[in-house]
Homo-oligomer: A and B are copies of this chain.
Amino acid sequence: MSFDPSSLRFDAAGLVPVIAQDAQSAEILMMAWMNEEAVRRTFETGRVTYWSRSRQSFWVKGETSGNLQHLVELRIDCDRDCLLVLVRQEGPACHTGRRSCFYTALRDGEEVEIQSPQG
């Protein structure tokens, strides 16, 4: 079946959550949002493109920082309301300079930083 972005189940704001996973290491890098046009652009350009809810604009990941996300494969979940993008990430994915946004772990009830900003 040919993929049609309009067949996804977008929420009331017209968005789907998107999980970005490193295609090689399988590390989860970040979670962000796409609207239908962002899905289309990601697919057509090979550069992962989100919809920024705060700025209300398209957000080509890494366009400013240079830390681009290159699309390796896009996957859809069973409910068609969440996407998984396998990516080749240049540099850190997190705006804090860390590889992943999920750098805080709970251990023994305490928040622990398990990743440092890259040098």
Contact with B along A26-63 (1 / 0, CB 8 A): 11101100000000000100000000000000000000
| A43 proximity list for chain B (CB < 8 A) | 106
Beta-carbon contact of B96 and A78 below 8 Å: yes
Q: How many copies altogether?
A: 2
Beta-carbon contact of B107 and A73 below 8 Å: yes
Distance of A1 Cα from B107 Cα, bound (Å): 10
Which residue of B2, B74, B75, B111 is within 8 Å of A3 (Cβ)?
Answer: B111
Distance of A76 Cα from B30 Cα, bound (Å): 11
| A79 proximity list for chain B (CB < 8 A) | 101
User: Which A residues have a C-beta under 8 Å from some C-beta of B?
Assistant: 1-3, 17, 19, 21, 25-28, 30-31, 43, 73-79, 82, 84, 94-96, 98, 101-107, 109-111, 114
